[in-house]
Structure 1
Amino acid sequence: MDNPLRWFEIPTTDLDRATAFYEAAFATTLRRESCGGNPMAIFPYTCPHPGGALVAMPQLAPRDNGTLIYLDGGDDLNAVLARIPAAGGTVVMAKTDLGKGIGHIGLFIDSEGNRVGVYSPN
């Protein structure tokens, strides 16, 4: 196994609101699709890299204490973290150095109430 991550899903109760949040916070465009009758907004990715999506499924609920994923924060995640409040989220951990040249992380609560991380090498 070269990389255990293949796909992730971030639950949402309002896909339009969540899509607008992530597009604003990450300065990107998500692709809208439906899978099995469930609407989703897919983050940009290229194969063979892992991908993921925002999903609106009745059996999934946003939460701030479940599995934690870290999204790509770019070269300096301060740019993403700075856009979080205006997009409708809350930064709960500012850019934090992991030490030993590993990189930096930050945490935020998205528009749906999910706790999500960001990572950058710088």
Structure 2
Amino acid sequence: MPHTLNWFEIPVTDFARAKAFYETVLGISIAPMAMGPTMMGMLSTDPTAVGGAIVQDEGGAPSQTGTMVYLNGGDDLAPMLARVVPAGGAVVVPKTEIGNDFGFFAHFVDTEGNKVGLHSMG
């Protein structure tokens, strides 16, 4: 098994607001995709990478507790983290060194109320 994680979904209540937030923070373009009553926005379209999406549906509820997803912060998560507050989110843990050559992490709360992590080696 090459990856333990196969797919993740970040629940959102306002798809347009969440789409704008994640596009700004991640520096990507997210194409909306309707799947029945569910609206999805893929965060990666690379078929060789672990995939995930922002998802608006009746069963999803944003949360700051429970399982936490860490998004790839690239070579240095600082530029992404710097875009969180201007995009409408909040930084709750600044860029912090993990130690033992495991890189750095940070936590933020998105516009929907989800606590999400970033990780980078630099």
- TM-score, normalised to structure 2, is 0.96
Deviation at 1:27, TM superposition (A): 1.2
Letter in 2 for 1:53: A
Q: Secondary structure at the match of 1:107?
A: strand
Letter in 1 for 2:112: E
Equivalent residue number for residue 115 of structure 2? 115
Equivalent residue number for residue 27 of structure 1? 27
Equivalent residue number for residue 17 of structure 2? 17
Task: Give CA deviations for 1:1-55 in whole Å, capped at 9, x if unaligned.
Answer: 2211111100000000000000011111112112243111111231121111000
Letter in 2 for 1:40: M
Equivalent residue number for residue 56 of structure 1? 56
Greater fraction helix: 1
Q: Secondary structure at the match of 2:86?
A: helix
1:71-82 → structure 2 map (5 Å cutoff):
71-82=71-82
Q: Secondary structure at the match of 1:80?
A: helix
Equivalent residue number for residue 2 of structure 1? 2
Runs of 5+ unmatched residues, structure 1: none
**In structure 1, how many angstroms separate the alpha carbons of the residues matched to 2:43 and 2:65?**
22
1:40-51 → structure 2 map (5 Å cutoff):
40-51=40-51
**In structure 1, how many angstroms separate the alpha carbons of the residues matched to 2:42 and 2:76?**
23
Letter in 2 for 1:26: L
Equivalent residue number for residue 100 of structure 1? 100
Deviation at 1:59, TM superposition (A): 1.0
